[in-house]
Amino acid sequence: MELWFNEFQTDNLSLGARVKETLYMGKSEFQDIAVLDTFEFGRMLALDGVFQTSIFDEFIYHEMIAHVPLLVHPAPRQVLIIGGGDGGAAREVLRHAAVERLEMVEIDGAVVDVCRRYLPEISTVLITGHDKFHLKIGDGINHMAQAENKYDVIIVDCSDPIGPGEGLFARRFYEDCFKALKADGLFVQQTESPFYHQPLLKRLYKDIGAIFPITRTYLAQIPLYPGGTHCFTIGSKRYDPLAVDTAKLPDLATRYWNKEIQKSSFALPNFVKELFK
C-alpha cells in the first residue's frame, strides 16, 4: 500500500508527496510535527499538516530570506531571526563576516530538537553552535515588544499565519519591528504565495508600507511551496533594495542566490504589481 502525505494549500487544492518512511510524528505544546522521507523531496518537515522545508529545495528559501536583506544593509552587525526553528536561516546569516551577533527566538523547542535529529544538513548551527549565535526558546512577539533600537536586520522566518505564527502577520508586530530596529535598520518576512494568498499579501504590503518608508516585495521559485513561487517582503527605514550596486556584492558559494538574482528577484509580474496599487 502506497503512503502519501498531502498538504491542502487551499480549500480546493492540495500537493501530495509519496512517502518512503515516516521518521517522526508527534505533537508539541503548539503544533503537530512530522518528518517524512519522501521520494520527490527527500526528508521534509511538516507543521500542522503544512510543508515547511525539505532537503531537496531548502537552500532556495534560506538563501533568499537571509542573503537578500543582509546585502541590502551595508553593515548588518546585529541580526535577529524570529522563528527559523530548522536552523537554515541561521546557517546562511553566519556566512556574513559583518555579522557580530545573531539572536534567534523560536517559540517551539520541539521543532528545534526534531530538526537537529532528522534534518542535520539544515540545522548545522543548532547542532555545532557558534560563538556569534544565541538561541532563545520563547515567544518572538513578546521579544519584539520589548526590544528597541537594537537590530540592524530582523528576519521573520515564520510558518503560515495560523497557530503560533498568526500574530507575526499583524500590524502591531510590524510596529514593534520598526521600534526594535536601529535608525537605518530593515526587516524581511516570508509573505506566502502570490497566486494563492493574494488578499494576505495585499494587506501585508499595505500594513508594512504604512510603517516603513521603503517597502519592497521580491520572489523566489521554491517547488515545495504553493504554486512554486514564494514572496518575501522587506520593510526598510533607509536602504532601498532597488538601489543596491550588485557589482560590489561579494561572491558567495550559494546554490540559488547570485548577484543577478539579488536584483532580478524584485522585478515583479504585473499581476503582483496590481495588488499593491
Indicate which residues carry an active-site annotation: 157
DSSP secondary structure string, 85-139?
TTSHHHHHHTT-TT--EEEEEES-HHHHHHHHHH-TTT-HHHHH--TTEEEEES-
Q: Cell 507575526 sits at which residue? A: 168
Residues contacting 116, CB < 8 A, separation 6+: 87, 123, 126, 127
The Cα 145–Cα 122 span in angstroms is 29
Type of residue found at 125:
V
The DSSP bridge pattern shows strands 101-106 and 42-47 to be unpaired
